[in-house]
Amino acid sequence: MTDKPSAHPNDVPVLSPLQERQKNLERLELILSFYRGLKMFRELSRRARRRAQGFRFNDMDHLIENHLRKVKDLCHKLFRESEHGETERILQAFFDLYFGVLFHTLLKAKENLRLRENYNIQRLNRLISGLKNSNRRDHLPVTIRKLFRRLAREFANDTRELAGEMTEARFMFNQLEKIFNRIIQVYADNAKIIRSLYCQKNLFAEVFPRQGIHRLFGKIFRKNGPTEAFVFLGFDYLRSGHLEESRGLFLQAIQESRKRKMPVARLRQLYEQYRDRTIGQLSTTGTALLAFRLRLREIETTPALRLLVGNHANDQTITVE
């Protein structure tokens, strides 16, 4: 958990609740489109290695138009008007540029695939070879034979270029993922985005097999990993009145801390920080604070969750049972 919110430059306009909601939707769409695109590209790459014909035009077109174009357009919109610090702005600007290069590389590859699939040069080559074998080749004008040989060479060059482009695209996607993981850390305090990402955990289970949403949260919450994410979400759900979901998230936080052998004191510190922050955000007038405290009592008296607040003076580390 960050000790204090990031300081925004003074010239950044304050957004209305409606504008902030729209911007959060765009941020979320950017994140989901990038990871969906990454997932699809890697699936296409694995499929291409298993079959002789490699990538297909329709698959590449779907990848670009349904996922990557959204990423490119949202990068232009969100990253060129960043309200974050200098380091974040540089990372965002570089990602915007580098992703643009990847996008145009794949556009070129898509066009090469279209030419390869729609213009059957192999069939024409067989026809010309058949004429040669039947001694009827001389009926073809010399310019046609020369033009075909040149076309065949260019087609072979395009095929080699396509293989090189896809190899380069794999490298670029891997590097972009690393940069993107660093960029999205700025959303660690954004409950709307973290909660929405959690609701997409099935997608991330496919993007990151055997790790799923835990891997993504580990990138966003670098200091304390998924444990902090689940504590954060636990209080967010509790604040909105979802007691059972909150209870499950706090249990996940405990389980994750056991896997990572996080000191008990650190787990409780996270819990107390987010608890105090949530209480501080609630108005002292009305019934919201009272209702929250009643739900909080339910959480803190749940036997399975007593570790978060109980008196375990002799515990040093949560170990795997």
Mean pLDDT of all residues belonging to the chain:
84
- pLDDT at residue 94 tops 70: yes
At residue 130, the pLDDT reads: 54
Euclidean distance between CA atoms 272 and 255, whole angstroms: 18
At 144, the pLDDT band (50, 70, 90 cuts) reads low
> Between 177 and 87, where is the model more confident?
177
Mean pLDDT of 58-73: 96
Euclidean distance between CA atoms 153 and 156, whole angstroms: 5
pLDDT tens column, 233-248: 999 999 999 999 999 9
**3-state DSSP of 84-124:** CCHHHHHHHHHHHHHHHHHHHHHHHHHHHHHHHHHCCHHHH
pLDDT tens column, 119-139: 665 655 555 555 555 555 556
Euclidean distance between CA atoms 13 and 111, whole angstroms: 42
At residue 284, the pLDDT reads: 74
Amino acid at 138: D
At residue 13, the pLDDT reads: 62
Q: Please report how the helices 17-50 and 69-79 are oriented relative to each other, as an axis angle in degrees rounded to 10.
A: 140
At residue 216, the pLDDT reads: 95
- pLDDT at residue 314 tops 50: no
Euclidean distance between CA atoms 75 and 81, whole angstroms: 10
Cβ proximity of 183 and 95 under 8 Å: yes
